[in-house]
Chain A
Amino acid sequence: MSQSDEKNTSSNNEIRYVNLYESEAKIYTRKVKGFYQRLRRYTGIPLLLGFLLMPWLVIDGRPAMLFDLSERKFHILLVTFWPQDFMLLAWTLIIAAFALFTVTVTVGRVWCGFTCPQTVWTLMFIWVEDLCEGDRNKRIKLDKQPWSAEKLVRKGGKHSLWFLIAFVTGATFIGYFYPIRDLLAGFIPTISLDGIVWDTPAAAIFWTFLFTAFTYLNAGWLREQVCKYMCPYARFQAVMYDKDTLYVQYDAARGEKRGPRKPKDDYKAQGLGDCVDCSWCVQVCPVDIDIRDGAQYECINCGLCVDACDAIMDKMNYPKGLIRFTSEDELETGKTQFLRPRLFGYFAIVLVMMSLLSYTIYTRSPLGVDVLRDRSARMYRIQGKEVHNVYTININNMDRQTHTYRIELEGDLPYSLKKYHAVPISEGEVFTLPIRIAAPRAAIKKEKHDLIIRIIAEDNPALVATESTVFMAPKAR
């Protein structure tokens, strides 16, 4: 806010007051068609369809993908993961992060430009904006217009469509955590004399609307500001670039000096480069930067300016690629040293971690066993010629079917197991089984003996868990 009207005074100590908090300028992007837009569309649509349809998929009468937070179980395709498998989730996320680093080293921030939900939804919302309000110039004009019936219809239509997309997104997302059929069926309240009743828990409805609201705000209003101010990846991606990373760059050597010309002109004679200074690359940019200023941290490598510039170059009958995915090395020396130690290192790390994770998941046993020695007044019980120790065995059946387990003992002494009730343990149940193990006093030589308790499924001998513990006894006198 300028307090003085005279901007161009040369009075040296005039003081102005500037607002510390500024609204961001609204970005109006021009629509553009081209190779990278087609690429994004054909890779994005299957992924979007997958995201939308996955919660509806049912295998063997259970949701194919359900993160059941209240039960603390993650059902992913044919496997159910328990809280104790949390390490696997952690490793999956670490691998995902390293895969992202690998991609960044290779081709820069293409995750941001092509697959990040923030960008994908933003571009979807911009497409809706274009549908309702027209292209860039029309939108700028519409915003400047006073309110009219037409403006109301166009703006209203845009926001309604935005909300619709946002709601579908929110409901789908919550559908991964709460069975989506129940979620949507319970959304329509039954109104009776007892009042209004929703079948879906209030929490599920709340989260659905929260995600709807955030989708609408993020893709409709915040857009590139998420990438510029909030996203942590955006903050540190630049340090992973090296001189052979492929990212969107303007070929200044070819483009400068920029300037307008007629197609028939011999522009080289005028001392001009290939850039016609049409500013299309700026107009299509979703983060509102001028790529011709060189690499900037806001750039998300989406390729919109590449398509825009290529279209202009086509019109002018110049070769394409004035703005293209290229590396510093290529711009300087004309060649990219694509295979380089850094890339091999990243690939190797990702491959090793992926194989380890696959191996761990493949060999994961759906049977968890904990053995606790009884901590009571005495360490052991002497009964006539025998010494007894008591153990509590927690059998956690993580398989998707009911099993009956038997117990086998192994160790230093001729152990015997006292009577216990073997009961079938249904899927997902944690069963507590107290057992009493006896050993003849005559065999005892020391105070602490090794004992191995093996829990074996009766119907599947491969399903086995082995726990080692100790057996306490009085030293023979």
Chain B
Amino acid sequence: MSTFWSLWVIVLTLACIALCTWVLFANKKVAKRDDADAENNTTGHVYDGIEEYDNPLPKWWFQLFVGTIIFTAIYLVLYPGLGNWKGILGWTSTGELAAAQEKAREQYVDSYDAYSKMSVEELSQNPEAMKMGVRLFANNCAVCHGADGGGNYGFPNLTDNDWLHGGTPDHIKASIVNGRNANMPAWGPTIGEEGVAAVTEYVLSLSGLEHDATLVPAGKEVFGTICTTCHGADAKGSIAMGAPNLTDDVWLFDSNRETIAGTVRNGRVNRMPAQKDLLRDDKIHLLTAYVYSLSH
């Protein structure tokens, strides 16, 4: 707030308080004419034949009013309210939020600390820890991997013990902390449409899916020259490259002919975002254990 608006607020606020105080005390006494009808002590207001008395307010009522004015004065000294005045308590809403978050963290710090000292295998057998894991996973991972970790189109299934980047606790933790990048180049320009079609049939045959057997030998040849670099000579994939195993009928994308051909032709870029700046270490440790427990 600029100085002008700050002053504007201060003047308005204080003027209002002063006005309230003045009204309260200025009307403390009213003039009464002696010849006024003592019996007819009304304000003169009449609604539906109901008249309004002009009785004095109870004293405690007046004192309550004074009390609120005093409260206002004290409040405006202690807390921010007068323009740029910060209040001598230094209270801020962000500070309050931080305190509340700290309090919430302290609530769980004991369990987190205890869990952080346990191994992933041990944690994955601990039902209480896994109940926390379910919630952590639901809040941070389920959007892509599904609430049950069963994956989605383009997002790996975490429950089937088939790992793109390795399934040991260390591998899983590394995936969460640093994220993963896996690129498959687009081979369409290199091998041409016939090559794409042939390789597709060969890949289908590897998982025992319905395929055109006449194209398989040609496909196998193309596969041997290009694809084995990442997917391996036996097409069982490589966790170092994040290259999928093509022989187990587990598909990151769909297993139909068009999808596979599209992958070969245009390549794939898959990325898991790094969580190290988003989640604390103790939470990542617990999540690792939870993901581990999904397939063990």
Contact = CB atoms under 8 A, between A and B. Distances in A.
Contact of B144 (A22, A376, A384, A435): A376
A378 B254 contact: no
Interface in B171-193: none
B44 interface: no
A236 to B, nearest CB: 15
Given A18-B29, A378-B152, A24 B34 contact: no
Interface stretch (B54-62, B90-98, B235-243): B54-62
Interface in B248-291: 249, 254-255
A384 B254 CA distance: 9
B147 interface: yes
A271 B204 CA distance: 121
B142 A15 contact: no
Contacts of B32: 15-18
B146 A390 contact: yes
Interface in B131-145: 131, 134-135, 138, 142-144
Contacts of A434: 134, 138, 142, 146-149
Given A13-B33, A15-B32, A22 B58 contact: yes
Interface in A216-231: 222, 225, 229
Interface in B60-113: 60-62
Interface of B: 27-35, 56-62, 127, 130-131, 134-135, 138, 142-144, 146-155, 249, 254-255
B131 A431 contact: yes
A374 B57 contact: no
21 contacts: A1-B29, A14-B35, A16-B33, A16-B34, A18-B29, A20-B28, A20-B30, A21-B56, A21-B61, A22-B58, A374-B142, A376-B143, A381-B146, A381-B152, A381-B153, A388-B150, A392-B142, A420-B148, A432-B131, A434-B142, A436-B148
A12 B131 contact: no
B34 A14 contact: yes
B30 to A, nearest CB: 6
Contacts of A435: 148
A426 to B, nearest CB: 10
A18 B58 contact: no
Interface of A: 1, 4, 9, 11-24, 222, 225, 229, 372, 374, 376-378, 381-382, 384, 388, 390-392, 418, 420-421, 423, 431-436
Contact of B151 (A1, A381, A432): A381
Contacts of A423: 127, 131
Contacts of B143: 376
B208 to A, nearest CB: 11
Contact of B58 (A9, A14, A24): A24
Given A23-B59, A384-B249, A16 B31 contact: yes
A376 B130 CA distance: 22
Given A13-B33, A374-B147, A434-B147, 7 more contacts: A13-B34, A21-B58, A21-B61, A229-B58, A376-B143, A378-B152, A384-B249
Nearest first, the 7 A-B pairs at minimum CB distance are: A434-B147, A434-B148, A21-B62, A14-B34, A22-B56, A17-B29, A23-B59
Nearest to A22: B56
Contacts of B144: 376-377
Contact of A381 (B28, B58, B150): B150
B22 to A, nearest CB: 14
A11 B28 CA distance: 25
Contacts of B127: 423
A349 B27 CA distance: 49
Contact of B150 (A14, A19, A390, A421): A390
A377 B154 contact: yes
Nearest to A225: B58
Contacts of A378: 152-153
A15 B36 CA distance: 10
Contacts of A14: 33-35
A446 B130 CA distance: 37
A386 to B, nearest CB: 12
B241 to A, nearest CB: 24
A16 B60 CA distance: 24
Nearest to A14: B34
B147 A390 contact: yes
Contacts of A431: 131
Contacts of A390: 146-148, 150
A391 B143 CA distance: 12
B13 to A, nearest CB: 26
Contacts of A21: 28, 56-59, 61-62
Contacts of B255: 384
B254 A382 contact: yes
A42 to B, nearest CB: 34
A12 B35 contact: yes
A49 B100 CA distance: 41
Contacts of A222: 60
A418 to B, nearest CB: 8
B80 to A, nearest CB: 24
A15 B34 CA distance: 6
B147 A392 contact: yes
Given A18-B29, A376-B144, A390-B148, A432 B34 contact: no
Nearest to A217: B60
A126 B150 CA distance: 73
Nearest to B55: A22
A13 B35 contact: yes
Contact of A15 (B31, B59, B154): B31
A392 B131 CA distance: 13
Nearest to A16: B32
Contacts of B59: 21-24
Contacts of B142: 374, 376, 392, 434
A466 B59 CA distance: 61
Nearest to B56: A22
Nearest to A432: B134
Count chain B CB atoms within 10 A of each CB in A24, A222, A376 and give the residue with the most.
A376
A283 B59 CA distance: 23
Nearest to B62: A21
B33 A20 contact: no
A391 B29 contact: no
Contacts of B27: 20
Given A18-B56, A423-B127, A434-B147, A377 B34 contact: no
Contacts of B138: 392, 432, 434
Given A9-B34, A20-B57, A21-B61, A377 B148 contact: no
Contacts of A433: 134
Nearest to A13: B33
A227 to B, nearest CB: 13
A423 B133 CA distance: 14
Count chain A CB atoms within 10 A of each CB in B34, B57, B143 and give the residue with the most.
B34
A434 B144 CA distance: 14
Contacts of B155: 377
